[in-house]
Amino acid sequence: MTRFIKKDKQEIGLSPDELVFRGQKKTDQVLLRIIDFDSTNLTEDDVKTVNEVSKFQHKDTVTWINVDGLHNTSIMQEITSAFNFDNLVMAEVLNTDARPRVIEYDNCTLITIKMLRLDEKNGKTIVENLSLILTKPILISFQEQKGDVFEPVRERIRKQKKRIRNGGTDYLTFALLDIVIDNYLYVISVLGEKIETLEENLLLNPNQNIINEINNYKRELNFLRKSIKPAKEMIFSLAKTDSDFITESTYVHFKELEDNISQANDASDDYREILSDQLNIYHTTISSKLNDIMKFLTVFSVIFIPLTFIAGIYGTNFEYVPELSYKYSYFIMWIIMIIVAIGMLLFFKKKKWF
């Protein structure tokens, strides 16, 4: 169940540096993947203890430590100690329900953002919290579960792409955030294609199912917007941050993140409006159709009302009804009925009632 907010009673009043994992456990084993590189050398390693990580700390090379899984707080505690972070930093990393934010600490900058990923199997969008701890030679990224979202960046590092191999942890940060936002764009574009396809069915065959679909898409879009809007705020505040760990030349790239997240945000606004227009079109079409039916049928019944009345009159059993005995009465009745019917039709036609 996707919830818009989550706050348990037990979480109220926790100390801000308490290392409690408040999310769902999404993976069994905490995995630490390390890539250490400079423009010429590259080391890749999957390790399971924090000890193995700390050796990279005092090297000049760029070290990217990716942590999959957050539930093992003792590992988190070890990382905190190994790199000498304030407890507050890791408490933030574990608080996966918090809003995307940039926080500057004495010896690191923390960046958190929601990752949206499309589960291609069932078309559902998966949300996951990503935290990046940025220091000069080391970038630690925390994901809630194992995933291959960042594989393209690893590929670029492996393939010796000049820019990423020469950039520092700040450029790497950009590269990761860029992928996150590209995924936003992708998720919205997939949803958007469904919405635009809907439009054609809407006019041909408006029915309750389409309404349900529109409402589903609306809910999906609201859900996406819930991640995108605070992410936009975060990205814009990131580009204004005066962090020690971000070099001047990287800010140009952050500018690009701003443009991309704005585009995602605009698109979500656009689709929102399209959905609301579609609802309007649906209602107009439905009510226009009902109008047609009601008008036709009402006109139809009204024409028969006086005819049936006339027939009723001559169905009475009064002893003295002069017309009854006249030989042509029956035919005259038919003629009168036809005249009445045609007269009413003409009247309605003139009034443009059908």
Site for a second copy in 48-87 (CB under 8 A): none
Say how far apart CA 203 and CA 286 lie, in whole Å.
10
The residue among 22, 250, 234 whose CA lies nearest residue 112 is 234
**Which ranges in 63-168 belong to alpha helices (H)?**
73-83, 87-94, 151-158, 162-166
| Binding map of a second copy across residues 203-222, x = CB under 8 A, - = no contact | x----x--xx--x--xx--x
Member of 42, 99, 133, 227 binding a second copy (CB under 8 A): 99
Pick the piece of the chain touching a second copy (CB under 8 A) from 39-47, 74-82, 126-134, 226-234. 226-234
Long-range contacts of 40-45 (CB under 8 A, 24+ apart): 42/157, 42/158, 44/154, 44/158
Pick 305 or 345: Cβ nearer a second copy: 305
Q: How far is the CB of 55 from a second copy (least distance, A)?
A: 29
194 binds a second copy (CB under 8 A): no
Q: Which is nearer to a second copy, 140 or 187 (CB)?
A: 187
**Under rule CB under 8 A, residue 273 binds a second copy:** yes
Question: Which segments within 76-228 are labelled E, that is strand?
Answer: 101-104, 109-118, 125-134, 138-143
Distances, alpha carbon 351 to alpha carbons 294, 295, 297, 339, in Å: 16, 12, 16, 18
Give the shortest CB-10-to-a second copy separation in angstroms. Answer: 10
Q: Is 346 in the site for a second copy (CB under 8 A)?
A: no
Give the dihedral sign, CA 297/303/306/308: negative
User: Backbone phi, then psi, for 108, in 5-degree steps?
Assistant: -165, 165
Nearest Cα to 227, choosing from 353, 142, 300, 126? 126
Nearer to a second copy, 60 or 200 (CB): 200
Question: Quick check: 124 binds a second copy (CB under 8 A)?
Answer: no
From 58, 121, 240, 327, residue interacting with a second copy (rule: CB under 8 A): 327
For residue 122 the two structure tokens come to: 């069932």
247 binds a second copy (CB under 8 A): no
Q: Are 62 and 100 in contact (CB under 8 A)?
A: no
Minimum Å gap between C-beta 29 and a second copy is 26
- Interacting residues with a second copy between 13 and 42 (CB under 8 A): 13-17
Please tell me whether residue 166 binds a second copy under the rule CB under 8 A: no
Q: Residue from 41, 242, 316, 350 that binds a second copy (CB under 8 A)? A: 316
Q: How many residues form the binding site for a second copy (CB under 8 A)?
A: 118
Six-digit token string for 50 = 């924090």
Among the residue ranges 32-40, 52-60, 99-107, 124-132, the one whose residues contact a second copy (CB under 8 A): 99-107
Instruction: Among 34, 132, 140, 188, indicate the residue that binds a second copy (CB under 8 A).
Output: 188
Query: Which region among 49-57, 66-74, 75-83, 158-166 touches a second copy (by CB under 8 A)?
Result: 158-166
Q: Which stretch binds a second copy (CB under 8 A): 57-65, 74-82, 128-136, 325-333?
A: 325-333
Q: Is the dihedral of CA 241, 247, 252, 258 positive or negative?
A: negative
| Lookup: tokens for 296 | 């036709």
Minimum separation from the CB atom of position 91 to a second copy (A): 10
Strands 101-104 and 125-134: unpaired
Give 114-120's long-range contacts (Cβ < 8 A, gap of 24+).
114/227, 114/230, 114/231, 115/143, 115/149, 115/180, 115/183, 116/180, 116/183, 116/184, 116/187, 116/224, 116/227, 117/147, 117/149, 117/183, 117/187, 118/183, 118/186, 118/187, 118/190
Q: Which is nearer to a second copy, 75 or 333 (CB)?
A: 333
| Window 288-307: residues binding a second copy (CB under 8 A) | 288, 290-291, 293-295, 297-302, 304-307
Closest to a second copy by CB, 54 or 329: 329
